[in-house]
Structure 1
Amino acid sequence: MSHDAIILGAGAAGLFCGATAAQRGRRVVVLDHAEKPGKKILISGGGRCNFTNLHTAPDRYLSENRHFARSALSRYTPADFLELVERHGIAWHEKTLGQLFCDGSARQIVAMLLDECMRGGVEVICESPIAEVGHADGRFRVRAGGRTYQAPALVIATGGPAIPQIGASGIAYDLARQFGLKVVQPRPALVPLTLPDEAVLFRELSGVAAPVEARCGKGRFREAALFTHRGLSGPAILQVSSYWSRGQAVTIDFLPDRASGWLLEAKRARPRAGLRSVLGEALPDRLATALAGQLGLGAEMGNLPDKALRAAEERLGAWDFMPNGSEGFAKAEVTAGGISTADLSSQTMEARKVPGLYAIGEAVDVTGWLGGYNFQWAWASGHAAGQAI
């Protein structure tokens, strides 16, 4: 069967690219191995799909080329996608930090994308695993689900290996290498971090959460951290995990809103109080108890030297944890790394050395922060390729 474009992957980027190209008059087929399209969309945002972020900007994306995402993001913005959402009558709300969610269900976003595909006449074919991809005489040939498809354009939109339990895989990287494109080492991102045995005290706090500032490398985030039976999670930790690599510390400020010298002020105001009770005014009781125990200051505040309190305050503001790993692709929300941007046009997402070959979405070495940024990259990169095909 002959088309103008074959898109591999019926996720956010693939469906949006297909709809964009087809509404420009292109004959498009979207192929996916799963039994239904948009599986990752359906489980996102607790089933309500955090479909974009109002604060989208290039500096909120990680890539070996930190400028690569700028072009596509500037040409298809959160306001553009929001206009589409509202045109389809989907009610939405802003949760926090610019994160936009459906009031109802993530199914509404999948239905919207499929409706947009239908408007352009896109064929969306599921349960069609890719058996072979070839390229000759300026045409790509894809054998999938017992059928062969041909087109002058091929779009890799198969995502990364994050969340393998819904069928995610690294096939995008195999295809990239087949066509001579470089791949930046993929790694789990937006993922819980694990702590070694010597941090057992903190693992005993499983289920305790607190608002903190977490730092690692160039990442610095003020959101909640959650202690788990394996280590650290919660939005602040998921965010810094994208910046973390083995051997690095993750630094937590447990009291980011407290001004310098606050423990000395507490000593003057409540000399008979213990450190644990003072910490308990700002932190969950179990966490306050654990931190006070680690600091080893059991006497009443009035009996503690100022020097000791200054040291305690400093450590509470910069408490280092040394993760020994992460919970891997099974628990990662996205994949960092991927098809190298050095081999792609930032304007069109087309491979520089292979005319007609495109890569979009999570398959590419562009990874956004938590909170709708990765969906906006899917829409923006899909739109860029869809306009170019």
Structure 2
Amino acid sequence: MSHSSSAFDVIVIGAGAAGLMCAAVAAGRGKRVVVLDHNDQPGRKILISGGGKCNFTNRTVTPAQYLSANPHYATSALKRFGPADFLDLMKRHRIAWHEREHGQLFCDNSAADIVAMLLSECGAGGVEVVLEAKLGAVTGEGPFQVATSRGGYCAPALVIATGGLSVPKIGATGFAHTLAGRYGLSVVPPRPGLVPLTFTGADLDLMRDLAGIAVPAELRFGKTRFREALLFTHRGLSGPAVLQISSYWLTGQPIMVNLLPDLDANARLLERKAARPNAQVETVVGELLPARLARALTERAGLLGRPIGQSTNAALAGLARLLSEWPLVPAGSEGYRTAEVTLGGVDTAGLSSKTMAAKSHPGLHFIGEAVDVAGWLGGYNFQWAWSSGWVAGMSV
């Protein structure tokens, strides 16, 4: 199958959240659009998200929830197409949803409803979606030529919506980063984000002993803090608080863990020392934390099996610091295999925040996870997909 340059106005590479949104919006403006994807079904990352319910956005979206070398880049797109706009679209398609903690919004029924909605919007505009199209060379510059296993395509506008490197099992690649380089655009070095952290040595031994325990905690790296659940695993730490802080963590640096964020741990231990001097220290700590965790940390502080009344105030202060300011230095992360997002990507310095187009190549657009914009856990990355896709769809 071969297409002449007059067949399409826009080629979108990537049938994910950002790509389908862009295609639908552009087609709604009368553009002739084709979407190319190497997978055998569209929206694969949407379908596996949120436990199959798709955490499609968040009530509290602002630029502050996004990481980028240019923290202001996402502002325009988020203002022009925000959570309320996406909810309006869902309302038109009668998709029921509900809100969970921290403003997270999920489908009542299935993530498949989101994919069906996007495909319906694309269908209404006559978008051609070509699946199992293995990509070949991308050449030209208005018009762009795209060679695939399903034939060649040509159009004056090209939108790259192929995502980042996270979740390679669904076909994630570095295609967008490589293509950007070919067109002279810089790429902020990518790394896994929203990812479990791994440990070695004594810390790993401890975490393996504690595997399966989940507790509310506050994690801090520099000035950034997240208070959510922390989960001990056989490889290290996971849970929402860990995934959040992982996007800010820098290799070789410690993260600070506060297991008792609503309590003055030292004051509590001293109060119990006065009130219950014969109680063992791990028993007192076990009033605040799961027994296995209480025992492990008491042992690490050198107070296991000791009555609290016979423990010095200095020793108890050391235990209190462990409970509220536990410094842990991860060895690394679990990598792109389990990362929910890719940090870094096409440098926004070379892109227009008003159109998502390359400043040096006005017909070439980059959107979604391919760009150096990554959000927090909780629907923020899908909102960036909708917002950046909408902006590009309005400008091609």
TM range (shorter): over 0.9
Superposition deviation, residue 297 in structure 1: 1.4
SS in 1 for 2:361: coil
Q: Identify which range, 231-240 or 200-209, moves more after superposition.
A: 200-209
Q: For residues 1-389 of structure 1, what are the structure 2 equivalents within 5 Å?
A: 1=3, 2-136=7-141, 138-199=142-203, 200-259=205-264, 261-298=267-304, 299-389=306-396
Q: Identify which range, 31-40 or 200-209, moves more after superposition.
A: 200-209
Q: Residues 203-256 of structure 1, C-alpha deviation per residue, up to 9 Å, x if partnerless?
A: 221111111001123431000111111111111000011011211111100110
SS in 1 for 2:95: coil
SS in 2 for 1:225: strand
Q: Identify which range, 140-149 or 247-256, moves more after superposition.
A: 140-149
SS in 1 for 2:57: strand
C-alpha root-mean-square deviation of aligned residues, in Å? 1.1
Q: Distance in 1 between matches of 2:286 and 2:85?
A: 46
SS in 2 for 1:19: helix
Superposition deviation, residue 17 in structure 1: 0.6
Q: Distance in 2 between matches of 1:87 and 1:191?
A: 35
Superposition deviation, residue 91 in structure 1: 1.2
SS in 1 for 2:31: coil
Whether the aligned pair in 2 keeps the contact of 1:218 and 1:243 (CA below 8 Å) is: no
Q: Distance in 2 between matches of 1:106 and 1:269?
A: 54
Q: Distance in 2 between matches of 1:348 and 1:118?
A: 24
Q: Distance in 2 between matches of 1:351 and 1:178?
A: 12
Q: Distance in 2 between matches of 1:303 and 1:253?
A: 26
Q: Which runs of 5+ in 1 are unaligned?
A: none
SS in 2 for 1:97: helix
| Aligned amino acid, residue 381 of structure 1 | S
Deviating beyond 3 angstroms after TM superposition, the runs of 4 or more aligned structure 1 residues are none
Q: Distance in 1 between matches of 2:91 and 2:223?
A: 36
Superposition deviation, residue 270 in structure 1: 2.4
Q: Identify which range, 346-355 or 217-226, moves more after superposition.
A: 217-226
Q: Which runs of 5+ in 2 are unaligned?
A: none
Q: Distance in 2 between matches of 1:231 and 1:311?
A: 23
Superposition deviation, residue 280 in structure 1: 1.4
SS in 2 for 1:36: coil
Whether the aligned pair in 2 keeps the contact of 1:219 and 1:239 (CA below 8 Å) is: no
CA gap of 1:385–1:218, structure 2 versus 1, over 3 A, is: farther
SS in 2 for 1:244: coil
Whether the aligned pair in 1 keeps the contact of 2:298 and 2:319 (CA below 8 Å) is: no
Q: Distance in 1 between matches of 2:113 and 2:62?
A: 26
| Aligned amino acid, residue 283 of structure 1 | L
Whether the aligned pair in 1 keeps the contact of 2:369 and 2:385 (CA below 8 Å) is: yes
SS in 1 for 2:358: coil
| Aligned amino acid, residue 286 of structure 1 | R
Superposition deviation, residue 322 in structure 1: 1.0
Whether the aligned pair in 2 keeps the contact of 1:202 and 1:290 (CA below 8 Å) is: no
Whether the aligned pair in 2 keeps the contact of 1:214 and 1:221 (CA below 8 Å) is: yes
